[in-house]
Structure 1
Amino acid sequence: MRPAHRLPIKPLLLVLGLAATAYAVALAVFGESTPIGTVQRLWSWVGLQAALLCLLNYFLRGLRWRLWMAQHQRPLGLIEGLRLYLAGYTFTPTPGNIGEAARGMLLARNPLNAAQSLAIFGAERLADLFCLLLMCLPLVGWLLTHVESGSATTLVIAFGLVALAVLVLLIKFHGLLLSRFLWLHEAWRCLATRPLVWLGLTAVAWAAQGLAVWLLCRDAGLAIEPLHAAAVYAVAMVGGALSMLPAGMGGTEVLLATLLVAHGASAAVALSITVLVRVVTLWLAVAIGALALVYSAAIRHEITFR
């Protein structure tokens, strides 16, 4: 019988505590209102709407995860699949969110091996990255019209050349990459499974989260178009992911606040929005995930020693 895995509660609580402290200090120094006053705005009708949109994001991506689990001969019921998917969010505060790869290993019976779980995680990240990059596109048009012509054009061209170079390298060496990294080959197989289904689920999921960001911006008095708010959030998410910091903490916040200031927000308002956005899009998931993980661990322990 396999013993149930011990939960890394202390490191996760440490990360949560450090992040909460950093947010509170930043608000106390730069914000126009108290940290408690800012967080209390989450209990408003707008805060509830934003939270519900984020829950929709988790639900849709959970359905996507069930699709790929079924491909690995692990069909899961709706409730069980969503419970295990949400439990994986407990490990989001890890470098590159890599801890979420443990989702498939949480099964009480017949868990995935490390390579299979990593493959599904890789497919998740690639699908998310693709849709987030599409969400970034409206920001290109905004740059061309709101930034100095020469600077904006240079920036867009530079990003275009980098993207083209990456695309060429991927096309040229995709065979070598797939043969060298078996998990990547499995991830590609996941993406080849019903692509229109996972693409639709992923696109709507991130659109819902982008809409949540726009609602929080509007509630804070920032006049910004929904597509631009979603694009700002997408750029911050991609930048945070590339930083390889736990849950993108630090990089995501700096990018998000900077782009909000560029869209006309004061530093205080941008910081306040950033905190609210990260609470509903990140820490809400971590909190729900922790509850789901404790419940899943209890179920696994019961089955193991039955």
Structure 2
Amino acid sequence: FGNYISRFFKWEYYLKLINVKLHKIDSLSIFMSGLVMSITPGKMGELLKSYLVKQVNGTSISKTAPIVFAERATDFLSLTILALVGAYFYDYGKNIIILIGVIIITGLIIISNKNLFYRIISLFTNIRFISKHILKISTAYESSAKLLSLTPLVLMTLLSLISWGFECFGYYLILTNFQTQIDIFWAFFSYSFATIVGALSMLPGGLGVTEGSLTLMLVQKGLSEHNAFAATFIVRAVTLWFAVLVGAISLLFYQKRFGKIIIESNTVKSEKTQN
């Protein structure tokens, strides 16, 4: 639960940064409902939160959608830091992690430089989709630039390190039940590395790839295939699938309060249940 608490603090911080006002109970309800989309590739399905915010207070989706992007960017940055330290210490997967780090930093540089960003966008204005949605793109960019400016980026990356630290520590606690000599530092590294590889696969929840990476790394450390599979199954059950379950329950409660969610032509309509 420490993971969820720190992530909620991040969500609240970002909302405040772009001047989106929500009652705490509504904000928590929306945040928890978004967890149901943890299974989507890169968790980008958590854009659902932007639809829910619009339903509650009318804030445009283009204004709040960058929060999800900022959450993922700081998640990737923190995971890359954890994995990079381990990659050098254990001499495992350094090139992959360095490449990921370079890509993330390049993207952040582009976003942080307004002139550079709009120059790049201007190259694609002849594309109908871009020209049609240029206002929404500009709104989304302004929010993104604010969310990923230096101070918020550093603070939220540190908070993400804490958040992922809780998950990595949970993984280590699971491993201690298998009478293995794996130390806590390797647990942090291997979990971070496998999570990144799974996310890059763009499969829903990194399914198959994350599990395969974790199992392989455990076998390489001397665990039997049976124990490696069991440890992987448990950690995924109490992280990914537990989050999806919590999100599904939260979404049901949300709909009882605000009505059913209908996503149609980029709009959200509320159908209040008839008494």
Structure 1 length normalisation: TM-score? 0.70
Aligned residues: 242
Q: For 1:234-277, what per-residue CA distance to the aligned partner results, in whole angstroms no more than 9, with x for missing partners?
A: 11111111011111111111111111112221111110010001
The answer as to whether partners of 1:66 and 1:75 remain within 8 angstroms in 2 is: no
91, 95, 99: which one pairs with 2:41? 95
| Change in 2 beyond 3 A, CA 1:291/1:207 | same
Matched ranges for 1:177-216 at <5 A: 178-179=117-118, 180=121, 182=138, 183-184=140-141, 186-192=143-149, 194-216=152-174
Matched residues in 2 for 1:178 and 1:60: separation? 31
Identify if the C-alpha distance between structure 1 residues 283 and 77 changes in structure 2 by more than 3 Å, giving closer, same or farther. Answer: same
**Per the alignment, do residues 208 and 160 of structure 1 end up closer, same or farther by CA in structure 2, a change over 3 Å counting?**
closer
| 2:21 paired with 1:85 | no
Structure 1, unaligned stretches of length 5 or more?
1-54, 145-151
The 3 A distance-change label for structure 1 pair 166 and 268 is: same
Q: Tell whether 2:60 aligns with 1:113.
A: yes
Deviates more, 1:135-144 or 1:100-109: 135-144
1:128 aligns with 2:75: yes
Q: Which residue of 2 aligns with 1:287?
A: 245
Is 1:251 paired with 2:209?
yes
User: For the Cα contact (< 8 Å) 2:39–2:204, is it kept in 1?
Assistant: yes
1:194 Cα offset (Å): 3.7
User: Structure 1 residues 235, 185: closer, same or farther in 2, change over 3 A?
Assistant: farther
- The alpha-carbon distance between structure 1 residues 204 and 160, as it changes in their structure 2 partners (threshold 3 A), is closer
Moved beyond 4 Å, runs of 4+? 167-177, 302-306
Q: Any unmatched runs of 5+ in structure 2?
A: 122-136, 261-269
For the structure 1 residues 64 and 259, does the alpha-carbon distance in structure 2 shift closer, same or farther, using more than 3 Å as the test?
Answer: same
Deviation at 1:205, TM superposition (A): 1.0
Q: CA deviation at 1:282?
A: 0.5
Distance in 1 between the 2:108 and 2:147 partners? 19
Q: In 1, are the aligned partners of 2:73 and 2:104 still within 8 Å (CA)? A: no
Partner in structure 1 of residue 263 of structure 2: none
How far did residue 59 of structure 1 move? 1.2
One-letter code of the match for 2:227? V
* One-letter amino acid matched to 1:178: F
TM normalised by structure 2 equals: 0.77
> Structure 2 CA distance, aligned partners of 1:211 and 1:165?
27
